[in-house]
Amino acid sequence: KNEVEQSPQNLTAQEGEFITINCSYSVGISALHWLQQHPGGGIVSLFMLSSGKKKHGRLIATINIQEKHSSLHITASHPRDSAVYICAVSPGSNYQLIWGAGTKLIIKP
């Protein structure tokens, strides 16, 4: 079993829909990261959080430390949001990130 599990693996939605991507982890962490990767492109850090909720534009990230679960939400989705969204955790014991497998999101116009 992977230490970081994301769901769904693939998601296709229509423009304007509310999107939720989930991340569950099984290790103790100091922080959880949500990152975005466009096809052929580099990775962009969206959020780093250790508790509660963060919002940036149409993106919202939440984390429940007790349940070891985080969600990334996109409101009013747009085709330019199409990308792979990756959840990664910083374990409390060391410095390496543990990466989820990513969720490939396609938003159709």
Partner 1 sequence: EAGVAQSPRYKIIEKRQSVAFWCNPISGHATLYWYQQILGQGPKLLIQFQNNGVVDDSQLPKDRFSAERLKGVDSTLKIQPAKLEDSAVYLCASSVLTRGGEQYFGPGTRLTVT
Distance in Å, CB of 40 to partner 1, minimum? 7
Distance in Å, CB of 14 to partner 1, minimum? 26
Q: What DSSP assignment string belongs to 59-96?
A: EEEEEETTTTEEEEEESS--GGG-EEEEEEEEESSSS-
The residue among 11 and 17 lying less far from partner 1, judged by its C-beta, is 11
The values of phi and psi at residue 33, to 5°, are -120, 140
Note the residues at the interface with partner 1 (CB under 8 A).
Answer: 30-31, 33, 35, 40-45, 48, 86, 88, 90, 92, 94-97, 99-102
The residue among 14 and 93 lying less far from partner 1, judged by its C-beta, is 93
Distance in Å, CB of 50 to partner 1, minimum? 8
- CA contacts within 13 A on the Cβ side of 29: 29
